[in-house]
Amino acid sequence: MDDRSIINLYLARDDQAIAETEKAYGALLVRFSERILENREDAEEVENDTLIQCWNRIPPNTPYEYFRAFLLKIARHLSFDRLRTMKAQKRNVEIVELTREMEECLPSGGTTEDEAEGNLLREALNRWLRNLAPDKRAFFIRRYFFAESIREIAEATGAKESRVKVTLYRTREALRTFLEKEGYRI
Amino acid sequence: MKGEKLLEEMEHVDPELLKEAEGYQVNRARQKKQLVTIIAAAAAVVLTVSAVGLGVGMNLRQREGNGTGQEESVSPADETGTADGTADQEGNESEHGESWETRVSSQEETLPEAETELWREKSWEEKTLPERFREFDYQGAQYSLRAAAEASRAGEKLADVTLRGEDPYTGSLYETTGEVFRLNGFSEKTAVVLRFNESGEQFVAMSPDYRPATLGAFLLEANAEELITVPGKAYYRYYDAENRVHTVTFEGVTKEAVLSWLRENAAAEGVDFDSVMNLPENVVSYINCGVSAADFERINVSLNFTKSGYVWTNLFDVGLSFHVGEEAVQQFEQYLKTNLQGYEYVHEANPEAGTTEEEGAEPGFETSQSEGAGTVEE
């Protein structure tokens, strides 16, 4: 069943929508969440929660053109929520590393975190991403949204690992410059 | 805001961009075309790496002569820039019988006005020569331009290379040529000097493909004694009974202490970084020591220690890791705890409520309260 038909099931409040979503995207959601949580059982619970949230969000949302991304965003949010409540020691080291890499993007200075939060930052991040060259944007999103390793990005895109590494380094530098110019001192 | 928050904010990326990223493929034909022909290649220099003689014998328990002794108390105003310099003189006795004073920090700061001009990647015409041509291949490895290099840093010539750059807006490819020289003191596997024929400008170029066999090899090949500087701070992370994370900041970490520890563990084998990242959950860095490599434009990055006995660093963009063993890591922890002054920022959610007690906090560290969440060091 294609995305449009599945969404129409949601809109009709037909619970077959959930079964169809699971059939089409269940494995992807578990795989994606497992990458963040490094735990199969937790990832399966996230998948279930994602399907429930999807049911609750459609309607009013009608993500005909981006249903896959819509699901992944919910799953990512739920995975990070769960990560926060997990025993700190058991945090996925890849996420620890991703966090550290993101810290490289933060301009030095020191202020409260509220100033950098919220819609403005989200809007700014999207604006910044849109102005990146496609390869930089793809590598950055695959790394920091999909939490893929350098190797996975290289394999998925056909780029050399070294190119991915260097490009990510440059892109983090660019994000830091951008955030500085936008007035974020974090 | 911390890196974790920024990472979480990525969830709001436009779905269209996610879709594009999932489908992105580099143009293989173009990649092939971009292969650099090396006109002249110098013979590879094989460096003999030996752990013996790398300088052992550092007594990590010996106090550093840097003025962080137990009798010395640090003024809150000196340390944190607090306007009134007031401090709660809250006694806090460590497991070593040392006493610490509590500091109060203030984080009020005026933000600069935001620039309204949209950030965008420079056009080809706007870019300088090194901005246009930032990477090149040499002996099968990629090298990436970093800091400008003074003329004296270039040793013998190793090769001529062609650099190719791409206009990000049009996709047009451009070429220029340069010469590769040895970076004095460094193995060419680690970094070289690239001189542009067009302008004569020269830059350090480091290889993200560099993978040292041992920590000792890294010290030699990357000329660590020269390369690394140590800004002086290390962060020790621990968990209390309620599984809350605490971070203790140690100031006064010296380059000599770090290098001595590295030398002592020179035999530690290099481990694939991704493999380390995929190890079980106990591989979480619990000590993070700031290091810098100005040549590589890596300022205040980190040397990380994991409880399971790995040390890794991001001096080379993504990571080099070595297995040193748990004991060696504990040795560094002891160096911090025994020799340096440690303090801990404590987030005070409600300053009106009075002093924040850190229940379950490991004894022995001064606690500093902060009124802004952004001041909690992690």
Residue range B274-288, pLDDT digits in tens:
666 555 444 455 788
> What is the identity of the amino acid at A159?
A
Higher pLDDT: B169 or A30? It is A30
Task: Look at residue B121 in the predicted model and tell me its pLDDT.
Answer: 66
Residue B176 has pLDDT above 90, yes or no: yes
Q: Which of B95-99, B232-236, B260-264, B355-359 has the highest mean pLDDT?
A: B260-264
pLDDT confidence tier of residue B66, bands split at 50, 70 and 90? very low
Q: What is the pLDDT of residue B368?
A: 55
Phi, psi of B144, rounded to the nearest 5 degrees: -125, 125
Nearest-CA neighbor of B273 among A33, A144, A38, A161?
Answer: A161
End-to-end C-alpha distance for chain B, whole angstroms: 11
Q: Which of B66-80, B176-190, B232-246, B251-265 has the lowest mean pLDDT?
A: B66-80
Question: What's the gap in Å between the CA of B40 and the closest CA on chain A?
Answer: 23
Q: Is B242 exposed, middle or buried (0-12, 13-18, 19+ CB in 10 A)?
A: exposed
Contact list in B for residue A140 (CB cut-off 8 A) is 21
Q: Is B25 in Cβ contact with A126 (below 8 Å)?
A: no
Name the pLDDT band for B363 (thresholds 50, 70, 90): very low
Query: Which pLDDT value is given to residue B211?
Result: 87
Is-contact B180 B159, C-beta < 8 A? Answer: yes
Coil, helix or strand at residue A159: coil
Dump pLDDT digits (tens) for A96-111. 677 777 777 776 544 4
Q: Is A48 exposed, middle or buried (0-12, 13-18, 19+ CB in 10 A)?
A: middle
Provide the shortest C-alpha distance from residue B328 to chain A (in Å). 20
Q: Which residues contact A186 (CB under 8 A, 6 or more apart)?
A: A106, A107, A109, A110, A111, A113, A116, A179, B1, B374
pLDDT band at B366 (very low <50, low <70, confident <90, very high): low
The ipTM assigned to this model is 0.79
Average pLDDT over chain B, rounded to an integer: 70
Burial of B96 (0-12, 13-18, 19+ CB in 10 A): exposed
| Per-residue pLDDT at B120 | 59
**B32 pLDDT higher than 50:** no
- DSSP state for residue B35 in the 8-state scheme: P
Q: How many Å lie between the alpha carbon of A91 and the closest alpha carbon of chain B?
A: 6
pTM of the model as a whole:
0.55
Position B369 pLDDT exceeds 70: no
pLDDT tens-digit series, residues B293-341? 888 888 777 888 888 888 888 787 667 889 999 999 999 999 999 999 8
* Phi and psi angles of residue B333, each rounded to the nearest 5 degrees, phi first: -60, -45
Partnered with residue B251 across adjacent β-strands are B233, B341
- Residue B297: exposed, middle, or buried by beta-carbon count in 10 A (0-12, 13-18, 19+)? middle
DSSP-assigned letters across all residues of A52-74 = HHHHHHTTT---TT-HHHHHHHH
Give me the residue from B1, B17, B208 closest to A129, CB to CB: B17
Q: Distance from first CA to last CA of chain A, Å, rounded?
A: 46
Mean pLDDT of chain A: 81
- B107–A111 C-beta distance less than 8 A: yes
Residue of A nearest to B286 (CA): A89
Residues in B touching A98 (Cβ below 8 Å): 3, 7
**Dihedral angle, C-alpha A59, A30, B314, B276, nearest 10 °:** 170
Average pLDDT in the B347-352 region? Answer: 48
Each residue of B192-249: pLDDT tens digit? 999 999 999 999 999 988 889 999 999 999 999 899 999 888 888 777 777 666 778 8
Answer for the pair B268, B323: CB distance below 8 angstroms, yes or no: yes
Give the pLDDT confidence score for residue B277 in this predicted structure: 56
Q: Is A145 on the interface with B (CB under 8 A)?
A: yes
| Phi, psi (degrees; rounded to nearest 5) at B294 | -60, -35
The 10s digit of each residue's pLDDT in A128-174 is 888 888 888 999 999 999 888 888 899 999 888 888 888 888 888 88
Long-range contacts of A112-121 (CB under 8 A, 24+ apart): A112/B107, A112/B372, A112/B373, A112/B374, A113/A186, A113/B1, A113/B2, A113/B5, A113/B372, A113/B373, A113/B374, A114/B373, A115/A184, A115/B111, A116/A184, A116/A186, A116/B1, A116/B5, A117/B1, A117/B5, A117/B9, A121/A184, A121/B9
Tokens describing residue B149: 């290099």
More confidently predicted of A47 and B62:
A47
Least confident of A83-97, B71-85, B343-357: B71-85
The closest of B220, B205, B213 to B141, measured between CA atoms, is: B205
**Residue A39 has what pLDDT?**
81
Which of A97, A130, A179 should one mutate to test binding to chain B, selecting the residue with the greatest count of B CBs within 10 A?
A97
Per-residue pLDDT, B271: 87
Higher pLDDT, B260 or B5: B260
In angstroms, the separation between the Cα of residue B36 and the nearest Cα of chain A is: 14
Quote the CA–CA distance of B287 and B266 in Å, as a whole number: 19
Higher confidence at residue B355 or residue B297? Answer: B297
H or E segment to which residue B181 belongs: strand B173-183
DSSP state of A145: T
Res B276: pLDDT: 64
Share of chain B above pLDDT 90, in %: 31
The β-bridge relationship of strands B341-347 and B366-370 is parallel
| Res B142 pLDDT > 90 | no
CA distances in angstroms from B297 to A162, A169, B60, B182, B317, listed in the order given: 17, 11, 30, 18, 10
B375 inside 8 A of chain A by CB = yes
Phi, psi of B251 (to 5 degrees): -110, 155
Residue B63 has pLDDT above 50, yes or no: no
Copy the structure tokens of residue B76: 């809150």
Closest by CA position to B164, among listed B139, B127, B137 = B137
- Comparing B280 with B191, the larger pLDDT belongs to B191
Q: Look at residue B90 and tell me whether its pLDDT is greater than 50.
A: no
More confident residue, B74 or B202: B202
Residue (of A55, A46, A53) closest to A85 by Cα position: A46
With CA atoms as reference, the chain A residue closest to B12 would be: A122
Q: Is the pLDDT of residue B103 over 70?
A: no
Q: In this complex, do B11 and A80 lie within 8 Å of one another by their Cβ atoms?
A: yes
Q: How confident is the model at residue B346 (pLDDT cuts 50, 70, 90)?
A: low
CB atoms within 10 A of CB B15: 17
Q: How many CB atoms lie within 10 A of CB B329?
A: 22
**pLDDT band, residue A184 (cuts 50/70/90):** low
A122 touches chain B (CB under 8 A): yes
Q: Kindly tell me if the per-residue pLDDT of B40 is higher than 80.
A: no
**pLDDT at res. B203:** 96
